[in-house]
Structures are given as structure tokens and as C-alpha cells.
Chain A
Amino acid sequence: MRTLEEVQATLQIAKLNEEDLNPTIHCLSFGENVSSADYCLMELDDTLCKHIEAGQSLVIRGDKDERAVLCSCDKTYDLRIANTSNLLLFVPGCKTPDQLPITQDRACVVHAEIWGFCNSYWEPRKQRPKLKKLKKLLMENPYAGVPLAGQEESKENRYTMQDLLERIQASEEEIKNHLVTIHACQIDGCWCGLDFDYEMKLLSHVTQLVDSESWSFNKVPLQTSLEELAPLEPREMIEHCLNCYGRRYTDKGEVFYALHEDKVCRGLALMLLQNAVKFNLKEFQEVWQQSVPEGMSTRLEQLKGVVLVDRASSPETISLLKVEDLPEDTLERFNLLFTLREKWTEEDITTYIQDLCGEKQTTGALLTKFARSSLQNGIKVFNSRRPVAT
């Protein structure tokens, strides 16, 4: 350990005047742990920093063949390693000038240990969570109604929340929100998807009941619905359907649901389009309006992101194209979109690339990078940058 005298001798040789200096001198030496390599630095953005200051934890998730992802309770980050040509030393006991006593009579030596050093650090970058896998897992064994007599319901390929956290590269909050979006249900503690035809069957039961009872679709009584429909389907499923397509509220102690017009109309449209490749647009719109509950109005805007309308063909047609079914990878997505249709208007294509935008990224930026624009009949259209087989 260096003494004050040794340090002062060094200062003299270095021709530094003690009068110009703060009397506290830190003598830095390497701690025993420096070469152990069991530590690293991680850069933090504002959110992560506050998270850590509050003492909260983070989780790194990833499969052998996936890139590592960092998750807080509600956000997902891509993890990269950044290198620097400089050396970064971290010193626990080192003070900055403002932390040192202002006045001090005599010089003194403070021994500070360099705990570690490195020339690279982890760099988290906020990214959209990878949730496509979630729906895929939950549709491995979706619930499709009470099994037929003699058959047992398979419990395989159903996942608890813990299972999902171990398989999906996303934060818990993002996973929970997505479970609601995809209408997943929990049976015996395990999550599974809802078979589409079965989901439509449930929705039809509900909408037909609303019509036959002449209820307002904003005031659907839970109890009566359960009683009337219990002979047809399990009560939990009726209630699940109401939760997916309506908003629950209480009025004078009784529970009601206000059915969400857009969600119901969209659901019924999907049901109609499910089995047809293309539908005559005009015919579709007529049938669609007739199928929704009394008082609800259908509008094509309700189908943004799930259907593609072809106004160039004669007669005009409509077909199913769900954004959630498209590839998550940006390049693959663009390739597929241009395979389906050679030229897209900005409005149409934006709907199908909106979810690809990262933090502070716009669809305009994506289009500039991945597509080529041209004018067709005075309207701006986008096509692929490279030849695509249609």
C-alpha cells in the first residue's frame, strides 16, 4: 500500500504543485477479482435505470437457436454486445470532486480498489415482442367444445403461464395482453386457444339470443344468457365469449355486457369469409349486414388488417388476409405481400406493415427501405424492389 510520502514524492517528480490540488489523493489498485471475468457492464435506458433503482429484476430469455432477449415485467429488449476501443474501469470507492470535503488542512491518501474493467458492454435495444409463437403454441390443442361422448379431451400441449414464460421471448405483461387479444382461455390452470369454428358457434349463440330476446346489444344480461345457453355450451365458455366480445358492467347489482359493435361485426365477417377464397364484395356486404344483431352497423373499416378488398377487379371482391398470419420478419413480410399483390396503395399496405415498426420507426421509413414507389393513374403505389413471382 502506498504511503502519503510515496504519493507526494510522485507528485513532486510529476512537477505538480500541491497547492493547486485538492488534498485528497486516490491511490488506485487492482482488486483481486479483476481477472475473474464473472462480471460485465450493461447500458441502461431511462426505463431500465428506474427499474433497477427500484430494486426490480429482469430476465433474459432465449432458446439455443434464438437471439437473447431481455425482459422487464412489461417490456422486451434485444440484447447486443457493443465494443469500445477504450478501457472502462469501475471503481467503487472513488469520489468525484464535489463529493470531497471542501476544506482540509493536510493531504491524505484514499485507497480505492478497481473492482473490474472491460472494453465491451451489453446494449439492450427496445423491440417488439415475439408473440407469434404464442398463438402457434396455443393452437396446438385449442378448445373446441365439450368432447363427444366416449372421447376424452386431450390435455397435451396446453401451457401454464410459467410454461409460456419459458418459451416466449416477451415480458409477462406483453404475454398477458396478447392472451386477451387472441381470445385464449384458461382451462384447469392451462392456457389454450379457442378453435375458430367453435368461437364462431359461441358468438352465434349469443347474437341469436340477443335478437330473439330483443335485447339491446348494449345490455345483455349475464345470468339470463347463461341460463338460456347452458344446455348448449359450458357456462364458462359462454362467459368467455361475452368477455371477448363485450364490456362487462354492473347495473343495480346485476351483471350486464355491452357488446362491442366492431368486434362482433368483425367476428361475423371472418366467419363468412373463412371458407371462401374470394367473395363478391357487394354480395358479401349484404349478407354481412344481415348477419349482425339488430341495431349494429357493418362498415368496411371494421375489417382493417383482416381483409383485402380488390377494387381493380370486376366485380369488386373481398378476401381474407389477416396481418397476424403474416411473417414476423420484415423482409419476409414484404416479399409475401408483393407476391399476393403486385402493386399496393399506401393506405392498403400501411395496414399490413404497421406492426413491424420498431421504436421511433415509421411505415414511411420501412417503405423507403423495402419497396419502390411509382405513380399509377395519379395515385402513388408501391411494388417490390426485386422481381417477385406472382
Chain B
Amino acid sequence: MVQIVIRGSVDGCSPPQWLLVELQGEMVSRHNSGLAGNVMGDLLYTKEGVPVLIVGHHILYGKLVKLEKPFAVLRKHSGDSPDSYADDATQIPMETDHQGLTSTSYTVSALIKQKLIFKTRPKPIITNVPKKV
């Protein structure tokens, strides 16, 4: 049987809190170059605190919601990943399988307790020519 550890933090502290942004639909990069490194859009808030998202030539209005059940962001470490926490004696020792290989483990990178959800239909931004700066 396998035992896969999900490590809490090294020092017993709470993990950092991130924000979740929930969108309907799919995101595709404009030039099919993959998403990594690319700009997604601009997020602003009105003075009343309403979040507004401008993605491409769409504008979406959303709201800030507290999650009924928070999320944990888990980061996977497989194989012989460099152990920056190998020295901590309070950690649960990593289970090894019969070949003595270090097995998969996870760490909790963050907790998410709130989200910005954009459920309304995106409105197109009508332009003649995008103003070039």
C-alpha cells in the first residue's frame, strides 16, 4: 500500500492565503502560444467594491464571495525532489516503497477562503482602433 504525505508547514504556521478567481468558460491564448508568461487581463474594483475584469475585448462584472468550504492549494513533489525540509526532525518521515525510492508527497502552498466570481455574460468592448500608447 502507498502512503502519500500532505505536509503542513515546516514551522507549524498557517499557510498564506490566496484569492480565487472563478470564470465561466475556457481561456485560450490569442496566438496559441500557451498561457504561461502571458498577460490575462486587468482586475479593478469600483468604489463600491464590485470587481471588474477586462479580458481581451470583454468586460465582466463579478462579486466577492466567501467560500463555504475553503480550498487548500497542494503542490506535488514526486521522485527525488530536493528536500529543503529534510532536516526538520518534526516532519513525518517520507515513506519509501520496497525499492527504497522516495515516493510522491504534497505540500500545502496556500489556503483560499474567498473568491471573485464572474458569472455575468461578458460584455464586448467596442473599439475602432485600440489606442496605442
Contact = CB atoms under 8 A, between A and B. Distances in A.
A177 interface: no
Nearest to A17: B46
The residue among A33, A44, A167 with the most chain B CB atoms within 10 A of its own CB is A44
A61 to B, nearest CB: 5
B96 to A, nearest CB: 11
B127 interface: yes
B73 A41 contact: yes
Interface residues of A, number: 77
Q: Is the interface of A mostly helix, strand, loop or mixed?
A: mixed
Contacts of A62: 1-2
Given A59-B92, A166-B1, A90 B49 contact: no
Given A88-B20, A121-B71, A58 B39 contact: no
A2 interface: yes
B39 A39 contact: no
Nearest to B39: A29
A3 B45 CA distance: 18
B22 A87 contact: yes
A98 B64 CA distance: 11
Contact of B72 (A35, A44, A92): A44
B45 A97 contact: yes
B59 A35 contact: no
Contacts of A114: 21, 40
Contacts of B131: 9, 12-13
Contacts of A371: none
Contacts of B6: 57-60, 70
Contact of A25 (B7, B43, B77, B109): B43
A43 B73 CA distance: 9
A59 B23 contact: no
A293 to B, nearest CB: 44
Contact of A86 (B23, B46, B75): B23
Interface in A179-209: none
A114 B20 CA distance: 10
18 contacts: A6-B133, A25-B44, A26-B43, A27-B39, A32-B36, A35-B36, A40-B76, A41-B72, A52-B14, A55-B11, A63-B1, A70-B6, A87-B24, A89-B23, A91-B18, A91-B21, A92-B110, A166-B1
Given A53-B14, A56-B12, A59-B4, 11 more contacts: A13-B127, A25-B43, A26-B42, A30-B36, A39-B109, A54-B14, A55-B11, A57-B7, A63-B1, A89-B20, A100-B45
